[in-house]
Chains A and B, each alone.
Chain A
Amino acid sequence: MTGIIAGLVPPFSQDWAWRAAFILGAIAAPALIVSATGPTIPFDSQVPTLWLIIGGLIVGIGVYFGSGCTSGHGVCGLARFSPRSLAATLVFMASTAATVFVVRHILGGF
């Protein structure tokens, strides 16, 4: 997901068309499911807007320098037994769990 999105951030990569098509497909799927079956997809977010913005910036910076996210390293990379992806996946899973612990159990949550 990271690599596909990065090609759509200015300056656009030359092969932006298939990237845009993939992203539009990924956005359309939940919309189609909801329009066909009603509100069947649970969604719940309790994070304040300021923290969504801070978290979004952090995720963008992290996945760009880390060359991938959950889908890139955690699924595609591990599926071809890449040592780099295994290392990255272990690091971001541990980092996420540690952050959730700090936010919810030390700072008291949102």
Chain B
Amino acid sequence: MQRILTAAIIGLIFGAGIAISGMINPAKVLNFFDFAGTWDPSLAFVMGGALAVTALGYRFVLKRPAPLFDKSFHLPTSRKMDVPLLGGAAVFGIGWGITGFCPGGAIPALGLGETDAFIFVGAMLGGIALARLVRHAFAKRAATANA
């Protein structure tokens, strides 16, 4: 229960940050990337600010043996610079550039009741489900080929 309540409070803080900072607004996000047009650099401070606070927080938090409500930290272990990482990032950027929505901006936008956010999030969940099917199909085929 503590774990679920904590997650909800962290979600509230995250959503408030995204909403107040303007990351929730697709038009503002697109302007941040439009160097040749209506460039709006202000979102750099949002990412920079979030990064500074997180880096500082991790220095204290990750020194602990474990989080308060779990047995251990769950940090990514992969070190590989592989095709899925860089290809996936490139593909993600195309979708972000078309719509102005990234996952962390679109989820809080649902709370504004915006139709566009619902359409985007529905399609994004479909994309994640599709990607997972493809990855599992390939993993299965590789396992059969090796057997």
Binding site for B on A (CB under 8 A): 1-2, 5-6, 9-10, 17-19, 21-34, 41-47, 49, 51-67, 69-71, 73-80, 82-84, 87-89, 91-105
Contacts and interface: CB of A to CB of B under 8 A. Distances in A.
Contacts of A79: 51, 54-55, 57-58
Interface in B1-43: 3-16, 18-20, 22, 24-28, 30, 33-37
- State the main secondary structure of chain A at its contact with B: helix
Given A80-B58, A84-B78, A64 B111 contact: no
- State the main secondary structure of chain B at its contact with A: helix
B139 interface: no
Interface in B71-109: 75-76, 78-81, 84-105, 107-109
A60 B94 CA distance: 11
Contact of A67 (B8, B12, B58, B84): B84
B86 A62 contact: no
A58 B16 contact: no
B4 A92 contact: no
B128 A63 contact: yes
A108 to B, nearest CB: 12
Contacts of B116: 45, 47, 52
B15 A98 contact: no
B46 to A, nearest CB: 10
B26 A58 contact: no
B26 A47 contact: yes
A84 B81 contact: yes
Contact of B4 (A18, A53, A87, A91): A18
A25 B7 contact: yes
B141 interface: no
B103 A95 contact: no
A49 B28 CA distance: 19
Contacts of A54: 95, 98, 123
Contacts of B14: 22, 25-26, 29, 71
